[in-house]
Every structure is written in structure tokens, then in C-alpha cells.
Amino acid sequence: MTRPATLLSDAPVTSNAPYDVERVRQDFPILTRLVHERKGRPGKPLVYLDNAASAQKPRAVIDAMSGLLERDYANVHRGVHFLSQRSTDLYEATRDKVAKLLNAPSRENIVFTRNATEAFNLVAQSWGRTFLKTGDVVLLSYMEHHANIVPWQLLRDQTGIRIEVVPVLDDGSLDLDAYEKALKTLAVKLVAITHSSNVLGTVNPVRQMARLAHEHGATVLFDGSQAVVHRPVDVQAIDADLYVFTAHKLYGPTGIGVLYGKKAVLDAMPPYQGGGDMISTVTFEKTTFREAPYRFEAGTPPIIEGVGLGAAIDYVTALGLDAIQAHEQRLLAYATERLREIEGLRIIGTAPEKAAIISFTIDGIHPHDIGTFVDRAGVAVRVGRHCAEPLMDRFGVGATCRASFGLYNTEAEADALVEAVKATKAFFG
């Protein structure tokens, strides 16, 4: 196996070549497999439309991770020996890549976590416990993932903060008037809202929201898990104080997530977990901690996953996030139009600005049944509450089907979804 050549080099940021989705698909080994193969019966080509749950991995990510394990692996930040240095360089290079991806001022703004969920818990327990007191308001929205709800409830039970929730309009847009009113009338200290909804696809006007929050003295935390995968994100232009995302939805591995924080915000936060790697000196009387971001990274970090994330960032930036966004927006428009052909199909989430995520229900057929049927046609969609139960309640549905498109999906796959849904409808009569 050859070592990926680009691991330590600057990846090309943009490409002027037209977006060749068939070429892109060849980079993803899993997309060639068949599903539901049975004796005497060929399987169905995989149509993977569950990217918002987790995306598939390009060969470059797989090779970077196995390459590290085969040639370069050792613990990081510790050894003086050759491999430890090599492993540290490869792992830490990802911090630079993340900083560049988000246009963060410095690599020191980038904290590695286990996933986006841990990043939220880190902020709640470190920043929240330090700066929030009884009666202070954390402002969420109805379109939050449970990962951005439950950590605040735990904090509420510990400290007596209040949680207030910004409503969502019928088309799935955030109610900005209610948002502004909440900032004006409540003691909002933190806004913790998603950049893009994992159910509705809605892309929120985060720049405007951050400006309004700052005018009222609130700190802002955005959930970028569904945003960084679909579009270029510039945390400085947004003026986010804190921003989180997870690697596995960005075509990288599970087990690593990112917390971006402004330097002043991170510097004011105490450690979240204690252990090795996050300390300067330890005696039994007193321990001094390292500076951010390392203060928040206790114990041996996700080294292999970090290298995988670096390769994933190289991959998407080489394709160009603008180009990915344009491709997915074409797909979104096409799939939306085709799904609308189906009588009784209701799309939940029709905001003017959307990522390539389509949640839908069909009169008289439960999403779980639809999911089982389209799966038999090789089409992988998510069914259920999508870790967003309050949002399901808001739209009066117990569950939805969700088709979420990624950089390797095609119009033919949208057609496959539509045909499978039509056949399901025919079965149930």
C-alpha cells in the first residue's frame, strides 16, 4: 500500500473541473456493493440516502487510517522516539486542517472531542457551570437534536438555569421574530441553536442570529454537524463564539468531533475532564493545566480517527465545498420535485434555504413500514424521530422518513427512492 501523499501537505482548496459525480462515486468502495443478496437472486445496488445519520467513507480516509496503523502509529504528545513524533505530526496536522476548514484564526481554537455530543456536554459543564447561574436563560430552538437539549437539562438540574425554546414556523424556518423577542425580554446568556436542522434541512441565518445575540450580551454556540458537510462555513464571518461538528457525517470516522471556540471564550473555560495530556505539572497537592485547546483533551486522544478526519477534510476541500453544495442543491431540487408527484406525500420542512435533507410522511402508511419496504429496493433512509422528538411533536407526527443526500448521490438514486416509495404505496393500496 502506498502512503497517501497529501497527509502533511496543503490540500488543494478548490477545483475548477466540473463536478463529476460518477468519478466521485469511485472513491467510495462501499457504493459498489449490493444489498439483500440471496441465493439465486442478485442483490440490489445500494442507494445510500442516510447521510445525515452518518456518511460513507472515501478510500482516502480508509487508507489514511490503515496507513497510520501499518506504518506510523504510536501514542502522541509523549515520546521522543521516531514513531511518536510521526504520529503526533499526522494527528496535529488535522487541527490545522480543521482550522482552515472553518476559517478559524488559529489551530488553538480547535478542541478535539469524541463527537458533537461530547462537545455540547463539554460546553455545558465547563462554560455553563462557570458562567451561568440560577435563572440565566439558555435559548434553544424546536429544531435541536437531542445532543443540544439534554446537556442543558442536566445543567438545569445542577444549577437552576432556565431553558427557553424558539419556535419553528410551519415551513420549518426558525421564528426569527420570536428569537429577537426572547433576546430582548429574557435573561439570555447563551444561544445554543443549530446551523442546519438534521430533520428539516433548514439552514438558519446564523450570522444575523449571532449579531442579535451579541447585541444583547449573549454568547452563541452553533451546532454545525449538518452544516459543514453541505456548505463552506466561516466561523469568523458568522462571528460564532462556539461551534461544534462531528467527523463521521463529514465522510470521516466515528469517534472524533470538534469544538471551535474563540480564544477568549476557551481561555476562560476550566477543564472538562481530568487526566493525562491536559496538564502541565501534577503533584498530589496541586495540578496546573495546559492552555486551550489541550486543557480540554484529557487522556490519549483519538489518534487514528484524527488522522482519518484530516484525510476527510482534504477530500472534501479538494472537491470544493462550493461544488459539493451546488451538486447537492441540484439534487435537492430534483428529488423534491419528484417526491411531490406522489399523492399523499407531505414534506416536513420547506424553508427557502435548505440543506439536501427531505423529511416526509405519507398518508396512511407509517414511516417505519416505508423504511422497511424501500430498504428491500436497496434504498437506505432513516425512519423515526431523528433524535428530535420535540420537533416531531411540533409538526404533529410521531416519526418521518428522511432522505438525506451527500456528495456522491445522483439523480438516478433520487429516482430509485421515488419508485420504491411509489411501489410501497401500491402495496399498501
Partner 1 sequence: MFDDLRDLYQEVILDHGKNPRNFGKPDGFNRTARGDNPMCGDKITVYLTLGSDGRIADVRFDGRGCAISQASASLMTEMLKGKEPKEAEALFGAFHDMCTKDEEEWTDHGPLDEEAMDKLQVLSGVREFPMRVKCATLAWHTMNAALHGDPVASTENAGF
The total number of residues shown for the chain amounts to 429
Tell which one of 357, 383, 418, 421 touches partner 1 (CB under 8 A). 383
User: Which residue, 352 or 429, is less far from partner 1 as judged by CB?
Assistant: 429
Identify whether the C-beta of residue 196 lies closer than 8 Å to the C-beta of residue 226: yes
Tell which one of 373, 395, 405, 408 touches partner 1 (CB under 8 A). 373
User: Which residue, 92 or 389, is less far from partner 1 as judged by CB?
Assistant: 389
Clarify whether 387 is annotated catalytic: yes
Considering only residues 389 through 418, tell me which ones interact with partner 1, judged by CB under 8 A: 389, 392, 398-399
User: Which residue, 189 or 385, is less far from partner 1 as judged by CB?
Assistant: 385
Stretch in the footprint of partner 1 (CB under 8 A) among 123-131, 197-205, 336-344, 366-374: 366-374
CB of 334 to partner 1, least distance (A): 22
What is the C-alpha separation between 210 and 53, in angstroms, rounded? 27
Identify whether the C-beta of residue 137 lies closer than 8 Å to the C-beta of residue 219: no
Distance of CA 63 to the CA centre of its chain: 22
Told to check if 128 binds partner 1 by CB under 8 A, we report no
Size of the site for partner 1 (CB under 8 A): 23
Print burial letters for 17-40: b (CB count within 10 Å at least 16), e (below 16): eebebeebbebbeebeeebeeeee
CB of 377 to partner 1, least distance (A): 6
Stretch in the footprint of partner 1 (CB under 8 A) among 16-24, 199-207, 235-243, 370-378: 370-378
Stretch in the footprint of partner 1 (CB under 8 A) among 72-80, 273-281, 288-296, 371-379: 371-379
Q: Helix, strand or coil for residue 249?
A: helix
Told to check if 384 binds partner 1 by CB under 8 A, we report yes
Nearest to 248 by CA among 50, 15, 410: 50
Nearest to 47 by CA among 337, 424, 418, 342: 418
Tell which one of 327, 385, 402, 425 touches partner 1 (CB under 8 A). 385
User: Which residue, 77 or 366, is less far from partner 1 as judged by CB?
Assistant: 366
* Position 419, amino acid: E
CA 141-147-148 angle, to 5 degrees, is 30
Annotated catalytic residue within 165, 168, 242, 387: 387
User: Which residue, 316 or 420, is less far from partner 1 as judged by CB?
Assistant: 420
What is the C-alpha separation between 43 and 187, in angstroms, rounded? 57
CB of 143 to partner 1, least distance (A): 17
- Here the cell at position 62 is 480508509
Told to check if 427 binds partner 1 by CB under 8 A, we report yes
Told to check if 346 binds partner 1 by CB under 8 A, we report no
Tell which one of 214, 216, 263, 366 touches partner 1 (CB under 8 A). 366
Beta bridge partners of 99: none
* Position 235, amino acid: V
Nearest to 199 by CA among 328, 413, 347, 61: 347
CB of 126 to partner 1, least distance (A): 29
CB of 121 to partner 1, least distance (A): 20
Considering only residues 34 through 93, tell me which ones interact with partner 1, judged by CB under 8 A: 38
Residues 6 or more apart in contact with residue 329 via CB below 8 angstroms: 356
CB of 196 to partner 1, least distance (A): 22
Beta bridge partners of 113: 257
Tell which one of 93, 210, 377, 403 touches partner 1 (CB under 8 A). 377
Told to check if 147 binds partner 1 by CB under 8 A, we report no
User: Which residue, 250 or 377, is less far from partner 1 as judged by CB?
Assistant: 377
What is the C-alpha separation between 407 and 412, in angstroms, rounded? 14
Print burial letters for 306-333: b (CB count within 10 Å at least 16), e (below 16): bbbbbbbbbbbbebbbebbbebbbebbe
Footprint on this chain of partner 1 (rule: CB under 8 A): 38, 364-369, 372-373, 376-377, 383-385, 389, 392, 398-399, 420, 423-424, 427-428
Residues recognised as catalytic: 387
